[in-house]
Chains A and B, each alone.
Chain A
Amino acid sequence: MKSFSHKIQLLVFLFAGLFSIFAQQRMKLPKDVLFYMEINGKQLDKKVNWEKFNPFLQEVAKKGKARPNWTDYSKTGIKYDATQYHYAVLNDSVQAYTAHFILDDQGKFQQFINSVKKEGLEITKKNTYSYVNLDDDVFVAWNGNRAVLKTISYNKPYNWEDDIAADSAVAVIDSTTVADSLYAGPETDSAYVEKAFDYKEEIGYLKEDLQSLQESIKENNAEITRIRKDINYLEKHHQYPVEKKGSTDKNYSEKGTEPLSPPMPEDMEEDDPEEDEIYRKELDSINIEKFKVVKKLAEAAFDDYFNSGAELEVPAGMTAYRDGNSDVFVYLDYAGIMNSGVYGSMMRRYEFGPFFTNFYNSNYSYNLYFDKDKVRLVNNYRHNNPEVQKSIAAVYKGKKNKKLTALINDKSVGYYSINVDGSKYFDMLYAFLKSSGETGYQNESELIMETMKIVLDEEAIAKIAPGNGIFVLNELKSKTVSYTDFEYDDDYNEKEVQKTKEVVMPDFTFAFATENEGYWNRIFTLLATNKKTSKNFSKNGSFYIFKEEKSQGYFDQLFFTVKDGIVYVTSSPDNIGPKNQSETSKMWANDAAKHPSSGRFDMQKLLSGLEKEFKSVPERKTLDLIRRNIGEVYFKTEAKGSHIETEMNYRIRNSSENSLMYFFDLFDEIYKINESEKKAPVL
C-alpha cells in the first residue's frame, strides 16, 4: 500500500512537474508590445478563394520578372487553418513586427523560402531551428512544425537632452537593453549601450547631407547651363532657334553657341574618388553594424521562441475583449503608442505633457468578422484609469429622444445621431484634469477646476443643449448656377458670356434637443432685430431665415426654428417634423434612440449625388466602379460596463462569395483599370 501511494505521489509530482515545465515553456509576449493580432485561421481559411488570390499575388510578387517565383500560394507549407499570432514592438530604438505561423509541410515551406530569399544567402542552422534573412531587416526562422517571421529596424535613439545640454557627457541607455533582457539571449552586445558620441556615425550623417546638397547643386547647374545656352544663342541671333516641324527641340549646332559651363562655387571642390571610396566604406560599415544589431536581436528572439511552446502567453488585459468567433482580433495599446518614439520623448520634455499623456492613456480592442453579406467590426475602447473611464461612460448614458429619431427616413442618404448626457461633460473634464498626476501646474489646475465649478452653472448649461442631436442628410439636390466665361471672336478679342452649370447642394436637417426654448428664441430674435445681423437674418412665421443678399454658396437660404423642445437648422422648412418610416427605418430610429451614438450612410446614394462633381474620364470610370460596388455603413456605440463598444457594419453590394473576397474583387478591378490606363496608347 505504501509503495502504491508512493507511486501515486510520484505520478502526481511528474504530472505537476510536466505541467510546470510546459507552463514555463509558453513564450511570454514581450513587455513593450503595442500591437497584438490573432488571425483565426480555422475560420478565415474557409473564406479565402485561392483561385482568385493566386493570380493576384503572383502579379504583385513577380515585380517585373517574366515568371512569378511561386505559383500556388495556398501551398507554402504554412498551415493556414491554424491560428496566427502577430505583434509589434515599438520603442525609442527598435521597431519590430513578428508573426508566428504553424507549418504543415516543412519541406514545402523551405522551398517557398528559397524562392523568396535573395540569391546566395545561406540558411543558418541552429540547434532547434534554421533561419535566413530575406532582406537586411527581414528574418524568417523555422523548425519542423512552426515558423516565425521578424522585421526589425534599429535606430540609435534620439536624446532630447542633447538639445538642452550638448556638452553633457551622459551616456544614454538604449531601450534595446530592455529588449535584450526580454529575449533572454545569452550574449550581451556592446551596441546595446550607446556611446556618448559616435564620430563615424556622425560623419555618415554629414556625408548624407553633403550628398543631397551636391545633387541639388548638380540640378541647378544643369538649369544654369541651359539658360546660358539660351542667352548665348539670343545674343548672337536675337531670337530663339527655329523649331523643326514636329519637334520642340532647339538647334544649337551653330558655331559660337557652345554653352559656358556654370562657374563652380569657390568653396566647392571636385569629387575626390578616394574620399568617395572612404565615405562609401564608412557608410557600409555603419550599415553592417546596424545589421549585426538586428541580427542579434532576431537570433535572441528566435532562440526564445523555439525553446518555448508554440502557444503565446498573452497578458489577460490584452485579450479581455477577444471573441473566439471573430476572424481577426487586434489589440492596440494607444497609451504605449503615444508614449513611444519622438512624440513620447517630446511630451516628457514639457510640463503640460502629462495632460496629453493622460488623455491618450487608453487601449482599443477590435474584433473583425468577414460575414457573407457584411463586414462587422466591433471596437472596444477603455481608458486605463478606472475613474476617467467611469466619467467617460457616464457621458455616454444620455436620455432617449424620439422626436429627433422621427426625422430618420428611408429616402435619406444617411444620418448621425447622438444621445449623450451633456451635464457629465464637465465631470469628465474634471476627471481628466484631476488624474493628470503631479505636474508643475497641479495647484493651478485644481484652482481652475474649482473656479469653473463656481462660475459655470453646469445644470443651466446642460438645459440649453442636454446632449441629444441628429444630423440627417436627406438628399443631394442639383442646383443651377450661372457663371461668367470668356469667348473669343475671329480676331481673338475676348467677350464675357454668361453660362450655367449644375452643382450639388445638400438638403439636410440638423436638430438638437433643448430644455430652454426661450434661450434659443431670444438668440434668433436678436439676430433678426440687430442692425448688423438683420441684413441677412429675418423672421417669417415660425421660421427664422438666413439669406445672403448675393448668395453664391451651396445654400440659397438656411431655416432656423424652435419647436416642441427641438432646435432645427435646415436647408428646407419641409424637413421639419416626423417622417414616414418603414419597418427598416423604424429599426434605425429605435437603435438611434437607444444608443449614445449611431449612424448610417448609404454610400451609393452619396456617390450618385456627387456624380456631377466627377468630370474627367478616369474619375468617372473609378466612380462608376465604386458606385456599382460600394455598400452601406451602419454603426452604433454604447457604454458597456468598463468600456465603450462601437459596432460598425459595412453591408456589401456585389456578387462576391463573402465580404473578404468583396474587398479583393474591388481592389482587383481597380488594379485592372489602372493597368489598362497605363497600357492605353498615347494618341
Chain B
Amino acid sequence: MKKFIKYFLLLLPLLLLTSCFDILEKVNVKADGSGEYTVILNASKSKTRLASISKMETINGKKVPKKPEIEAKISEAARIFKATPGLSNVKTSMDFDNYIIKLSCSFKRIENINAGLEQLKAENIIGKMVPTQIYSQNTAGKTFTRNKINTFKSDYDKMSKADKEIFNDAKYISVLQFENSVKSQTNNAYSLSPNRKAVKLEVPVLDLILQKKPLQNTILFQ
C-alpha cells in the first residue's frame, strides 16, 4: 500500500512537470554578408513549473542546474563567442523571472557563427549532437543556405519517457532577415514576408528531432 501511495505521489508531479519552451534563432544579413545573430530560449510559458523545479535538487534522476551555474555557462559561451574571429558585440541577457535567455552578436561572415558554435561544442558548452555548420553564404552567387542537420532520433529514442515529454510542446522558430530581396527559396515551409526580405519557419522541436520537417533551405536573392 505504501508503495502504491509512493508511486501515486511520484506520478503526480510527473503529470505536472511536462514543460514547453521555444527556441528562436534569428539571423539578420546585410548585403555585404555581415550581420547579426540572435538566439533566444524562452521557457516563460512553463515558469510556474520551472520555479518549482528550480527548488529541487534533481528531476528525473538529473541534477537541476542552479542560477549561478546557468549564468556561468552563458558567460562562458559569451567569452568563447567574443574570442571567435569575425564575431563582435557579443551580448547576453538572462531573465530568471520569466526564464528567458538571450545571446546575440554581430558577424562579418555567417560562417563565423558556425566557427563560434564549433568552439562551444569543443568546450562542452553545447552537446556533441548540436549541429554547428548550420549556415553558408555565397555573396557572388547571391545565395544564403540553411544547411541540413542530422537526425537526433537515435539519441531521442534512448531518452526516458519523462525526458522525452520535455519536447512535446517545444517549438523552434527560425527567422532569416536580409537587406536584399529574396527571389526564391528551396523550402516552401519557410513563409516569405510581404516585403520579400525575410523568411520564417516555425516547427515543433519534435518534428526536427524526428526529421519530419526539413530545415535546409537555399535562398536566392534578386
Contacts and interface: CB of A to CB of B under 8 A. Distances in A.
A481 B42 contact: no
Interface stretch (B49-57, B79-87, B121-129): B49-57
Indicate the size class of the contact surface on chain A.
35 or more
B24 interface: yes
A648 B175 contact: no
Contacts of A239: 138, 141, 143, 145, 218
Interface in B81-121: 95, 97-98, 100
Nearest to A237: B141
Contacts of B168: 616
B8 A601 contact: yes
A239 B138 CA distance: 9
A238 B186 contact: no
A553 B51 contact: yes
A500 to B, nearest CB: 11
Interface stretch (A47-55, A141-149, A489-497, A666-674): A489-497
A488 interface: yes
Of the listed residues B22, B42, B48, B51, the one surrounded by the most CB atoms of chain A closer than 10 A to its CB is B48
Contacts of B95: 484
A499 to B, nearest CB: 8
Contacts, number: 99
B42 A492 contact: no
Given A240-B216, A597-B1, A635-B1, 14 more contacts: A230-B148, A240-B147, A240-B218, A483-B47, A486-B42, A493-B177, A503-B48, A552-B51, A552-B97, A553-B48, A613-B15, A615-B169, A635-B4, A637-B1
B44 interface: yes
Given A239-B141, A416-B5, A492-B198, A552 B169 contact: no
Given A481-B47, A492-B200, A599-B5, A486 B214 contact: no
A504 B48 CA distance: 10
Interface string A443-481: 000000000000000000000000000000000000001
A484 B98 contact: yes
21 contacts: A238-B143, A240-B147, A240-B216, A242-B186, A379-B1, A484-B44, A484-B100, A486-B40, A490-B194, A491-B197, A492-B198, A503-B48, A504-B16, A551-B51, A553-B52, A553-B55, A610-B15, A613-B18, A615-B169, A635-B1, A635-B4
A240 B145 contact: yes
Interface of A: 223, 230, 234, 238-240, 242-243, 248, 379, 416, 481, 483-486, 488, 490-494, 501, 503-504, 550-554, 597, 599, 601, 610, 613, 615-616, 635, 637, 646, 648
Nearest to A471: B9
A492 B175 contact: yes
A490 B175 CA distance: 12
Interface in B149-183: 150, 168-169, 173, 175, 177
A243 B186 contact: yes
Contacts of A553: 48, 51-52, 55
B58 interface: no
A50 B134 CA distance: 60
A223 B151 CA distance: 10
A307 to B, nearest CB: 41
A554 B52 contact: yes
Contacts of B175: 488, 492, 494
A599 B8 CA distance: 13
Contacts of A637: 1
Nearest to B147: A240
Nearest to B100: A484
B45 A240 contact: no
